[in-house]
Structure 1
Amino acid sequence: MTSPLRILFMGTPDFAVPSLQALLDGPDQVVAVVCQPDKKKGRGRKLQPPPVKVTATEAGLFVLQPDNIKTDVFFKQVEEIAPDLIVVVAYGKILPASLLRLPPMGAINVHGSLLPKYRGAAPIQWAVLNGEKESGVTIMQLDEGMDTGDILYPVAIPIEKDDTAGTLFDKLAHLGGRTLAKAVELMKLGQLSPIPQDNTKASHAPMLSKAQGHIDWQQTAESIHCIIRGLDPWPSAYGFLNDKRFRFFAPELVAKSATEAPGTVCQADAQGLLIATGSDYLRIREIQPEGKKRMSVQACLCGTTIVPGDLFT
């Protein structure tokens, strides 16, 4: 029987919580947690702890929130904790080489894509934006690059036609926790073989911007379908009608060649908005008028006039 590992966990957002919980539920010991500092949020601009800190505090764990992880002070703190392994899940900063070399078993990461595809900050969103048919998580050995370390344990799942970045995020967060637990078990048994990434097959997933959400209706219905889903819930896809911004959600492909100008509303009823694109039609079932909450198109039409012939720009 192998001895329990001393694990230092580094993570910050919701995506990392299932992985932390999986370690807490397992046979090893999470000796400390490192996450980003609290941030001001909401109208009151009150300091809010990140989700990982909330989970760690509830579990009675020691939490560190350094502004800078490249200092001698932080290195000595980690040295005193003496972890056997560092586990990183969406921490938000690249670890320096000194930290990567410190634990006997190094540092591993849970990444929300099938590496080497979609290295970077927004792998889940870009997989949906690009119309991928599958995604997954990769347990990788960390190095000093951006998601360039050796692959240890990848697990794939399909991307469903109605998946959004938000629903896929939740699926991969929980898959990440389960996969991490299995990978740590295999590491302890010496049964994981690192596989170098093929850099010729690498693609990148940079952070998203709000400007990416402005829909070009000249694109195909299939492309816009992916854009709306990939930008849901943030930053969301949008268009303008009478100088008012409308955000679009829950798209449905309608395979019928469009004859109207792209962006034209062809139907507006309880079933949604049928909008012409550069190729085929798209039915929008949920919408968010400017200054209001997200709602069904049926609810929107009770208070907002959108009629056939209107043109979204």
Structure 2
Amino acid sequence: MRIVFMGSPEFALPSLEKLHASAHEIVSVVSNVDKRRGRGGGASPTPVKARALEMGLPVIEVQDLSAPSFVQELQTLNADLFVVVAFRILPPAVLDIPAKGAINLHASLLPKYRGAAPIHWAIINGEEETGCTVFFLNEKVDTGRIIKQERTPVGINETTGDLYERLKVLGGDLLLETVNEIENETYSTEVQDHSKATPAPKLHTEDCRVNFKEPAIKVHNKIRGLSPFPTAWAELDDLKFNMYRSELGPDNESLKPGELRMVKDKLLVGCDDGTVELKEVQIAGKRRMSGKDFMNGYSGIGVLH
């Protein structure tokens, strides 16, 4: 089939690579415009654009998805299918173009975790299982008919970064299987049960602040669900204190919520009903380090809030 691939971040790369290596033809890759990265730095392409150019694929950079010139350019490509991975909301004028429709790879088991941050929220909420879904796009975000899903367990200490690396590969395989079924017309679809939908909105800085008056499991899930980005944090001695990796600690230590203490070479923090071990942390202005290394050089009050 003739395919237009749309995506920008690294998550989309395995999908792009697997489609490129298949019998299908990627007639164009659509990605966001180059972005200035870092203070004083020059503009750099999205990971998808950079990889597409390495492969020798034509690239369309787009800012306004509704621009008539963009819509007309897509129409001239005579694509059978649009394949979307971690991109933006397509307007109806774009969705109507391909003969076989537009499909999207989403990093959750829809209808759960509709929105911009499905991996983060699955871990924050302590899900023991998640996966990827390929579905037909329609005008409402993440609500289209499901074509195919793949499930995977979530480890108790797995971070969003860990799961992201696994799901981008799992999703690439699932996407290629789905595209092949669409070509062969062997696929079937299932309507989403909207009553089971849960949101996965974008996370902002204040959403990432940790409340140590909550149970230890909630604190642990929040830390790993926000790692490596946008990062769980609290205040320590009026400085921002980031937390990247944690494990559940013993529940027989008498620590007040937010209180830090070294116990058998482990940095523990008190929670409502137990403790969490902080394995990788960072105080403002310093590098990331183990909890033990941080406490070796620490002389403050020792209470997170």
TM-score by length of 1: 0.94
**Residue in structure 1 matched with residue 63 of structure 2 by the alignment:** 67
Write the distance in 2 (CA, Å) between the matches of 1:252 and 1:175.
Answer: 26
Task: Tell me how far 1:246 sits from its aligned partner.
Answer: 1.4
Write the distance in 1 (CA, Å) between the matches of 2:89 and 2:188.
Answer: 23
Report SS of the residue matched to 1:138.
strand
Matched-pair contact (CA < 8 Å) for 2:267–2:295: no
Per-residue CA deviations over 1:127-172 (Å, capped at 9, x if unaligned) read 0000001110000000011101000001010011121111111111
**Residue in structure 2 matched with residue 310 of structure 1 by the alignment:** 302
Aligned-residue sequence identity (percent) comes to: 38
Write the distance in 2 (CA, Å) between the matches of 1:114 and 1:159.
Answer: 13
Q: 240-249 vs 294-303, which deviates more?
A: 294-303
Tell me the number of residue pairs that the alignment of Structure 1 and Structure 2 aligns.
305
Match of 2:80 among 84, 93, 96: 84
Please tell me whether residue 160 in structure 1 is matched to residue 152 in structure 2: no
Write the distance in 2 (CA, Å) between the matches of 1:190 and 1:298.
Answer: 57
CA RMSD of aligned residues (A): 1.4
> Quick one: which amino acid aligns to residue 31 of structure 1?
V
User: What aligned pairs does 1:108-257 form with structure 2 within 5 A after superposition?
Assistant: 108-257=103-252
Task: Tell me how far 1:255 sits from its aligned partner.
Answer: 4.0
Unaligned stretches of 5+ residues in structure 1 = none
Q: 273-282 vs 108-117, which deviates more?
A: 273-282
Report SS of the residue matched to 1:65.
strand
Residue 301 to residue 262, structure 1, CA distance change in 2 (3 Å): closer
Write the distance in 1 (CA, Å) between the matches of 2:8 and 2:183.
Answer: 25
> Quick one: which amino acid aligns to residue 312 of structure 1?
L
Task: Tell me how far 1:303 sits from its aligned partner.
Answer: 3.1
Write the distance in 1 (CA, Å) between the matches of 2:122 and 2:288.
Answer: 24
Per-residue CA deviations over 1:229-267 (Å, capped at 9, x if unaligned) read 011011111122221221112211124145332111232
Please tell me whether residue 286 in structure 1 is matched to residue 269 in structure 2: no
Matched-pair contact (CA < 8 Å) for 2:267–2:292: no
**Residue in structure 2 matched with residue 37 of structure 1 by the alignment:** 33
Write the distance in 1 (CA, Å) between the matches of 2:14 and 2:295.
Answer: 39
**Residue in structure 2 matched with residue 50 of structure 1 by the alignment:** 46
> Quick one: which amino acid aligns to residue 256 of structure 1?
D
> Quick one: which amino acid aligns to residue 304 of structure 1?
Y
Kindly report structure 1 stretches of 4+ aligned residues shifted beyond 4 Å: none
> Quick one: which amino acid aligns to residue 140 of structure 1?
F
Write the distance in 2 (CA, Å) between the matches of 1:193 and 1:199.
Answer: 19
> Quick one: which amino acid aligns to residue 231 of structure 2?
S
Matched-pair contact (CA < 8 Å) for 1:258–1:278: no
Report SS of the residue matched to 1:81.
coil
> Quick one: which amino acid aligns to residue 284 of structure 1?
L
Report SS of the residue matched to 1:32.
strand
Task: Tell me how far 1:302 sits from its aligned partner.
Answer: 3.9
Match of 1:276 among 262, 270, 289: 270
Write the distance in 1 (CA, Å) between the matches of 2:68 and 2:260.
Answer: 61
Unaligned stretches of 5+ residues in structure 2 = none
Matched-pair contact (CA < 8 Å) for 1:35–1:52: yes
Task: Tell me how far 1:188 sits from its aligned partner.
Answer: 1.5
> Quick one: which amino acid aligns to residue 171 of structure 1?
R
Write the distance in 1 (CA, Å) between the matches of 2:77 and 2:299.
Answer: 62
Residue 266 to residue 301, structure 1, CA distance change in 2 (3 Å): closer
Report SS of the residue matched to 1:34.
strand
TM-score by length of 2: 0.96
Report SS of the residue matched to 1:18.
helix
Please tell me whether residue 24 in structure 1 is matched to residue 12 in structure 2: no
Write the distance in 1 (CA, Å) between the matches of 2:148 and 2:119.
Answer: 18
Residue 300 to residue 310, structure 1, CA distance change in 2 (3 Å): closer
> Quick one: which amino acid aligns to residue 153 of structure 1?
K
